[in-house]
Structure 1
Amino acid sequence: MRSAHWYGGADRNGYIHRAWMRRGLPGHAFDGRPHIAIANTASAFTPCNAHLGEVAASVANGVYEAGGIPLELPVLSLGETNVRPTAMLWRNLAAMAAEEMFRANPIDGLVLLGGCDKTIPSLLMAAASVDLPAVVVPGGPMLTGTFRGVPLGCGTDVWRLSEEVRAGTLSQAQFSASESSMIRSRGHCNTMGTASTMAFMAEALGMTVPGMAGTPAPDSRLLEGAHASGRLAVELVARDRTPSRIMTRASFLNAVVALAAIGGSTNAVVHLLAVAGRLGVRLSLDDFDRTGSGVPLLVDLQPAGRHLMEDLHRAGGFLAVLREVRDLLDPAPITVTGAPLTEYLDEAAIWDEEVIRPRNRPLLDDAGIAVLRGNLAPDGAVIKPAAASPSLLRHRGRAVVFDSVEDVRARLNDPALDVDESSVLVLRGCGPRGYPGMPEVANLPLPPKLLAKGVRDMVRVCDGRMSGTAYGTVVLHVAPEAAAGGPLALVREGDPIVLDVEARRIDVDVPDAELLARKPVQQGFASPVRGWQRLYIDHVTQADTGCDLDFLIGSSGHAVDRESH
């Protein structure tokens, strides 16, 4: 056992390590049993993860039952709803801190408890970096709340209802009254946002007990699965079944197929690229387009559809979706159980074909994330066709340009703003370096004077991200970003912007010579002189490679250079 390097021997160091851990641990805890760290992102400031203490207790029972020693390890938690300016600014910090703690402590195996958007990606990045045996336990979505008899999708209906207030069709009092109805129970967003998407991506990669992702947070089966995951963690150590053996290139391509079939969040693109980078697995933006192309959208779930996560679980869950696209999945990659994911699809069944569509009756025939290139995005940009208006997927309009989120707030509501429904709203200065952190602002709100005319979608182009719960015809993750010298910084008010999703193009229709002669608009805040933001701005990569820190790409393993003294 790796932990024996701390606890073994009769010398002073062994004595100190054992003695200081004997605050409840019996002597036989040090007789060669695997020590399993339960990496817990529970926090009162991460409301979607607040219940993970109870989940950790079930994991611990499973570990102990299987002969291991469970030890809870609090790790940095990121609550999407509270953290300013954006939780994405600290995803890499959370991953780096977790990696260092996994490596520095006497740990043989890991159980990773995550829920809200950045917690599962950061834990997967950390586990990939140290390559210790690990299993993910997703915290699960909340139950469906209702308002005035109508189910509410958290996130998605926030955008919808807030636009209705701005359009004058919903009162402020009614909008406020919906708050307590939307969040009905423990758990993360109940739409196909980033939290749900990344739980499913962890399962598609093979890092969860198959069938567990998507189990609602209050469901007793979540605790049952947590117990089983604790038992499994002990087996993972015994068999040295590490993340690098599970998350192969084929596993990532299976995840890309799954992402399209469920209509998952565009944020999964940057997270999967980052995890693959930590493993040294070759994965690019083009893989998302090439592998996701032609994959049908089978899940009728907000924001791309009507239903919510509780409905998906009831209708057969993730495995039932994967069964419908089984022919598109590589059967070779194993899961944490040692068996391929495809072996778990034989008994999967669809119990409600309105929620999970059969392959011959999809919501969309082609639902993969589309990767766009052109003179506006030389290194790529992405769009989610499943959440876009079909009529806008091929569009030409004049640019209405905003240089920052603050610029949007200052000018968007002005009745004198020169904009119409054919315009293209361009927001820059929101990339990894420019904001910094690449906030979820790409789906910027529509001008009130257009909302009053009944307009509910417009083409929007941004070097930032958007929430997985959001919808609209939004071109995002434009790379390079404006703050890194990307051509988005050259766009001027009134320039014709041309979007052609079928052709995979996003261009500004301005002669190359004129673009080259333009002086870029200065982007980004004044650079911080200290702390994490200074390190982040200096070393973050662009969206097309996952927004990781350049010096963290590649696995470092779990060896500790020096012993304690």
Structure 2
Amino acid sequence: MSNHEATGRRSAAWFAAEGRNGFIHRSWMRNQGFGPEVFDGRPVIGIGNSWSELTPCNAHLRDVAEAVKRGVWEAGGLPLEFPVMSLGETLMRPTTMLFRNLMAMEVEETLRANPLDGVVLLSGCDKTTPAMLMGAASVDIPALMVTGGPMLNGKFRGRDIGSGTAVWKLSEEMRAGKLTAADLREAEGCMSRSRGHCMTMGTASTMACIAEGLGMQMSGGAAIPAVDARRYALAQASGRQAVQLVEQDLRPSRVLTREAFENAIRVNAALGGSTNAVVHLLALAGRVDVPLQLADFDRLTAEVPVLADMMPSGRFLMEDFYYAGGLPVVMRELGELIHGEAITVTGRSIGAEIADAECYNREVIGTMSEPFMPPGAGTAVLHGTLCPDGAVIKVSAADENLLRHRGKALVFDRIEDYNAVVDDPGLPVDPSTVIVVRNAGPKGYPGFPEVGNVPVPKSLLEAGVEDVVRISDARMSGTGYGTCVLHVAPESAVGGPLALVRTGDVIELDVPARRLDLCVDEGELAARAEELRAAGDSAGTEGRRRGWEKLYTEHVMQADRGADLDFLTGGSGDQVPRHSH
């Protein structure tokens, strides 16, 4: 028996094989310059790389991969880098969320089909992180994540500006006549001035912190700036640790427990993190058969204040957050609200990892006794006649005067319809108007785009009104802000109550009571529903769908189920596929 066979590792089925199959597997690998000693039974560590120049946030990951390789070689493993689909938030249309599940499928199938004993996942941009975690969790081979790190703080005319958040703020200032187009062009290079993902507490930074909070990224790793040498030291250490994961047979199923998800939910609340974390965590939990419901996000965060004073809700950026101590400080500050016994990819408990965390700037990270915002200021979950299966709102990003609001709806069937008239001075709006945009959910768009924080009408901006209530079955960018009710479920495309709203209907929002209600008689709503059924697919979109979009539309679940595909829930395992040359 060879050393490789004696290990019982997956890769032995390829590299320890005798006869023709073994000859093929080893010989073709050797055209890359590998000597025979790399097939001596050492752990084979895949490096799944979402690098792409079409994904600016991940465009530096080839350099990160080289650091990971150093660590794998150091620990006696064989590193093999491979590409996976990359989802560039700033360029892909119609929305990267349409492709999150496709990327997760590619990661899952690639891991299962190849001679890998463990994997290091390199991600960064919004959907790359949850997609890679979902795929790896489904296969359940030893895995850990290294995110690419945030950009350095943006600097514009003597002040810090944050990626994404500055886009919304500066473009609104231009629409209001406070900035020129030339000013906005100047800000472009000032905002994105280094490698890395968004440096606000948007979805990219949120999901990096979520990966660390779940225990799937090494402690302290989420916040290190992309260009900081310590990012590459972390990557090298992660390569070493990946070999140890294989030696210990420490798999995602041991890390991604119910306790880990509860930690992640509370971390998101303490950070004032993105509402997108809700849908991604629900999808990931479904992959590992951990029972998680939308209501858990409200219940588990009732006592959690917002500790991090971070854009878009606050003042600071990820560079400041790292220098202040990063996520370990936040988790240590949460104390008994964190399940300290939860295991991490280091093999140690999260409690042990954060035990020595120290805060170096209390302006950036507050305490439980003196938080940035009180409990309940994170993501709130709403229910009511307009969202029977739930909706979410990021309280910290909303105007507190609008958290209890009653107003008449102005309804748009498509985001494009709203965008076409938002600057019309004759648009019938006032500060009490509730803007409703529908057909932007998982099935309806399709893909569940980030259009929920629609622009405030220009006429209101010019009058000094900066926020109005906006309701949709869409998502919102993690860098966005405003009183935006999102993820309304069921969505309008499947006949949810949002499809029945008409302009002039009264809608009542009561965030403290966790309610969102359409104030229309049940009999009238029943009549409208019958009209809708009779009309059928008036847009005629079903016949035009093909390929991935068709598969996605037929199988995607609703927002309260994580918008995963119904046939991807539950694990698939790492069984080596049968094959003989």
Same fold (TM over 0.5): yes
CA-CA distance at 1:171 after TM superposition: 1.2
Name the aligned partner's letter for residue 548 of structure 2: W
C-alpha contact (below 8 Å) 1:164/1:170 kept by paired residues: yes
Which residue in the other structure is 1:452 paired with?
462
C-alpha contact (below 8 Å) 1:294/1:368 kept by paired residues: no
Which residue in the other structure is 2:509 paired with?
499
CA-CA distance at 1:96 after TM superposition: 0.2
Which residue in the other structure is 1:173 paired with?
182
For residues 546 and 524 of structure 1, the distance between their equivalents in structure 2, rounded to whole angstroms, comes to 26
Comparing 287-296 with 110-119, which one deviates more in the overlay?
287-296
The structure 1 residue matched to 2:431, chosen from 400, 421, 435, is: 421
Which residue in the other structure is 1:195 paired with?
204
* 1:54 equivalenced with 2:70 (yes/no): no
For residues 523 and 232 of structure 1, the distance between their equivalents in structure 2, rounded to whole angstroms, comes to 55
For residues 454 and 427 of structure 1, the distance between their equivalents in structure 2, rounded to whole angstroms, comes to 23
Name the aligned partner's letter for residue 58 of structure 2: N
Cα distance per residue 1:435-458 (max 9 Å; x no partner): 110100000001111000101011
CA-CA distance at 1:413 after TM superposition: 1.9
Which residue in the other structure is 1:548 paired with?
564
Cα distance per residue 1:72-115 (max 9 Å; x no partner): 01100000000001000000000001110100000000000000
CA-CA distance at 1:525 after TM superposition: 6.6
Which residue in the other structure is 1:6 paired with?
14
Which residue in the other structure is 1:109 paired with?
118
Which residue in the other structure is 1:526 paired with?
541
C-alpha contact (below 8 Å) 1:435/1:524 kept by paired residues: no
Which aligned pairs between 1:121-520 and structure 2 lie closer than 5 A?
121-366=130-375, 367-518=377-528, 519-520=531-532
Name the aligned partner's letter for residue 409 of structure 1: N
For residues 350 and 514 of structure 2, the distance between their equivalents in structure 1, rounded to whole angstroms, comes to 32
* 1:557 equivalenced with 2:573 (yes/no): yes
Which aligned pairs between 1:48-127 and structure 2 lie closer than 5 A?
48-127=57-136
What secondary structure sits across from 1:178 in the alignment? helix
For residues 428 and 398 of structure 2, the distance between their equivalents in structure 1, rounded to whole angstroms, comes to 24
CA-CA distance at 1:405 after TM superposition: 1.2
For residues 278 and 487 of structure 1, the distance between their equivalents in structure 2, rounded to whole angstroms, comes to 29
Cα distance per residue 1:393-449 (max 9 Å; x no partner): 110010011110111122222222111011101000100011110100000001111
For residues 556 and 453 of structure 1, the distance between their equivalents in structure 2, rounded to whole angstroms, comes to 56
Which residue in the other structure is 2:6 paired with?
none
C-alpha contact (below 8 Å) 2:241/2:346 kept by paired residues: yes
CA-CA distance at 1:170 after TM superposition: 1.1
Name the aligned partner's letter for residue 460 of structure 1: R
C-alpha contact (below 8 Å) 1:377/1:478 kept by paired residues: yes
What secondary structure sits across from 1:70 in the alignment? strand
CA-CA distance at 1:512 after TM superposition: 1.1
CA-CA distance at 1:482 after TM superposition: 0.3
C-alpha contact (below 8 Å) 2:113/2:577 kept by paired residues: no
For residues 523 and 485 of structure 1, the distance between their equivalents in structure 2, rounded to whole angstroms, comes to 13
Name the aligned partner's letter for residue 400 of structure 1: L
CA-CA distance at 1:25 after TM superposition: 1.5
Comparing 103-112 with 343-352, which one deviates more in the overlay?
343-352
Cα distance per residue 1:176-197 (max 9 Å; x no partner): 1111111010000010000000
C-alpha contact (below 8 Å) 2:383/2:389 kept by paired residues: yes
For residues 44 and 123 of structure 1, the distance between their equivalents in structure 2, rounded to whole angstroms, comes to 18
Runs of 4+ with deviation above 4 angstroms: 521-525
Cα distance per residue 1:13-46 (max 9 Å; x no partner): 1111011111211111111111000000010000
Q: TM-score, normalised by structure 1?
A: 0.99
Name the aligned partner's letter for residue 374 of structure 1: G
CA-CA distance at 1:9 after TM superposition: 3.0
RMSD (CA atoms): 1.1
Corresponding residue pairs, total: 565
What secondary structure sits across from 1:73 in the alignment? strand
Cα distance per residue 1:488-523 (max 9 Å; x no partner): 000000100100011111011011111111133868
Name the aligned partner's letter for residue 410 of structure 1: A
CA-CA distance at 1:294 after TM superposition: 2.1
For residues 345 and 280 of structure 1, the distance between their equivalents in structure 2, rounded to whole angstroms, comes to 27
C-alpha contact (below 8 Å) 1:421/1:458 kept by paired residues: yes
Comparing 515-524 with 444-453, which one deviates more in the overlay?
515-524
Cα distance per residue 1:309-350 (max 9 Å; x no partner): 100001111111111102101122100011111112221111
Which residue in the other structure is 2:3 paired with?
none
Comparing 384-393 with 407-416, which one deviates more in the overlay?
407-416
Q: 1:402 to 1:529 in 2, by over 3 A?
A: closer
Which residue in the other structure is 2:4 paired with?
none
Q: TM-score, normalised by structure 2?
A: 0.96
For residues 145 and 410 of structure 1, the distance between their equivalents in structure 2, rounded to whole angstroms, comes to 31
Name the aligned partner's letter for residue 393 of structure 1: L
For residues 279 and 344 of structure 1, the distance between their equivalents in structure 2, rounded to whole angstroms, comes to 24
For residues 561 and 26 of structure 1, the distance between their equivalents in structure 2, rounded to whole angstroms, comes to 26
Name the aligned partner's letter for residue 397 of structure 2: A
C-alpha contact (below 8 Å) 1:499/1:505 kept by paired residues: yes
For residues 138 and 196 of structure 2, the distance between their equivalents in structure 1, rounded to whole angstroms, comes to 28
Comparing 337-346 with 60-69, which one deviates more in the overlay?
337-346
C-alpha contact (below 8 Å) 1:483/1:523 kept by paired residues: no
C-alpha contact (below 8 Å) 1:132/1:558 kept by paired residues: yes
Specify every segment of 5 or more residues in structure 2 that has no aligned partner in the other structure, as ranges.
1-8
Name the aligned partner's letter for residue 461 of structure 1: I
CA-CA distance at 1:54 after TM superposition: 0.5
Which residue in the other structure is 1:538 paired with?
554
Cα distance per residue 1:325-381 (max 9 Å; x no partner): 021011221000111111122211111111111221112111332110111001100
C-alpha contact (below 8 Å) 1:38/1:113 kept by paired residues: yes
For residues 280 and 552 of structure 1, the distance between their equivalents in structure 2, rounded to whole angstroms, comes to 11
